[in-house]
A and B are shown apart, each in its own frame.
Chain A
Amino acid sequence: MKVAVLRFPGTNCEFDTQYAFEKLGYTTELIWHEEDTLPSDIDLVVVPGGFSYGDYLRSGSIARFSPIMKTVIQFAHNGGKVLGICNGFQILTEAGLLPGALKRNNNLHFISKHQNLCVINNDNAFLNQCEKGEVLNIPIAHADGNYYIDEEDFKQIEANGQILLRYCDTQGNPVVVNGSVTSIAGVCNEAKNVFGLMPHPERALEVILGSVDGIRMLKGFSA
């Protein structure tokens, strides 16, 4: 399995992401945003976290128009798998590859902490190694993670099993973390080949860092 990790000016999670996928046995390659092609043998494109273009205008709004994103949009439309983490999730919603949008957190704070997440749907290429209803402990670190989707589209993504994760307590009950609609932490597209989440699974691979739950999430792509 070969993973392309994108890099924009202001991206800061690309090396963690690369380390995480390498540790799990994937081959990785960093791709600069000015490139307009992906290597032909790529199985998964990861848009990592950070602050692309300083979050100017809206988080992800400028990165979405970089040359590599045109290729990634085409890759996704052809069925290629794409994962956006944190700023990557924002970029994918701005690009129209994922439904909804990410707004400023309701409490206006940058929230950085370990957070429990409940697995809502696992019948997809990402969370297939996790149990439905399972509670995972994964770090979050964001200011614009407040997921918004209008009522009509919400009904659609819920019915299609596109809601991947919700913020929850230790028992799996949804909790309000940043104001997201029904505590949504991650979603996928209708075809279930494009995935986005605000939490950072690449930061949860080592016991010494407080959680290893990210391993099962990222391993899903090689199953």
Chain B
Amino acid sequence: MSVNRREFLKIGAAGIMIGAFPGIAFASNELIPKKGQRVVVVGAGFGGATAAKYIRMWSGQKIEVVLVERNTNFVSCPMSNTVLGGTRTISDLTGNYTTLQKKYGVNLVQGEVTAIDPDKKTVMLANGHLSYDRLIIAPGIDFMFDRVEGLSAKVADESIPHAWKAGAQTTMLRKQLEAMPNGGTFVMSIPAAPYRCPPGPYERSCQVASYFKAHKPKSKVIILDANADITSKKGLFTAAWKELYPGMVEYRNTSNVVEVDVASKTAKTETENIKADVLNILPPMKAGAVAGMAGVVGADGRWCAVDFLSYESKVHKNIHIIGDAVSSSLPKSGHMATAQAKICAAAVIEMLDGKQPDQAPTLSNTCYSMVSGNEAVHVANVFRFNAEKQAMVSADGGGVSKARSEAEGAYAASWLQNIMSDVLL
């Protein structure tokens, strides 16, 4: 009896010790001592960097902001297809976080988040943790490589790039196109919507065709689209293919790539095998891994449901999600990420002050696609909060260009200058 009791006590003590370990882990060092109200922003792309800047700017620098980013530089995904066309390089699309730190007093932590504890309100990194009053995550997208047999992150890095996050893979894809013989075939795939940047794949086909037209006129572009039809700016893209690149671009709808053969660069759909000289597979997409760490991914296992007045998670209080990771009918674009970031920043400032956020958030999206070296087309919409639907709804009057033009090409370049400046400077 007494032995049993002693044993029971021992087990109890062990249990307490085991239970204490996560506590010890979270009691690790606070990376930056928290002095006042603090917002931690994870992810410094279009959405996250904008949220960090605007919280500092609109709070009169009262709220502490810690911005966590794993990359050293900012690289714009919008306009990165022009790297494939040859009118820009990745360095033209690259910025840094110096001004956010110096001018706005944003604390930048370069590192990878390893865990998030919504109850203790802490973000863990390898070397310590950050406490927050409110957390904003802007995790962007991750790729569901497992949906395409034969494909993996490693394969994408080494030989079959997605190039759907601007950077090394974009440059690699350009080099593959340069090395391709005249008369070769470029095959690209598009996943079922929703995915990042709806018109982006069709813009890419135009940029690659633009390069082929100038340097490899016997070459072909084949688009394998999992969707039943072109998802964005349909008439404008089909006109560009027909008028600018006659006989060069072949579009196949309802063509879902389910497997690749890496060695022979062959894409396999349910009905056909297509061999490529250069293969570019865009796997299905979901919210970036940080969303999973925060436990804010919805039942679909892909996107995060939010309250559109504040972008606060429907799952966890005090965690906000912005940008491509959000589940909504809003387009997954760079402009949209910055617009959401501002509504979120404004709401976070009010909520930390115990007040209600703006009850009628209104935002807009302007999205250009370069269809040649110097011509662009656009889609533009205003979206406003609909209380009954609890959703952002497109206002009347939005739509696409009448026709491609050089004037819009120039405005697209101006857009890039202004949005990068708005995010970083």
Task: Say if A and B assemble together.
Answer: no
B residues at A contact (CB < 8 Å): none
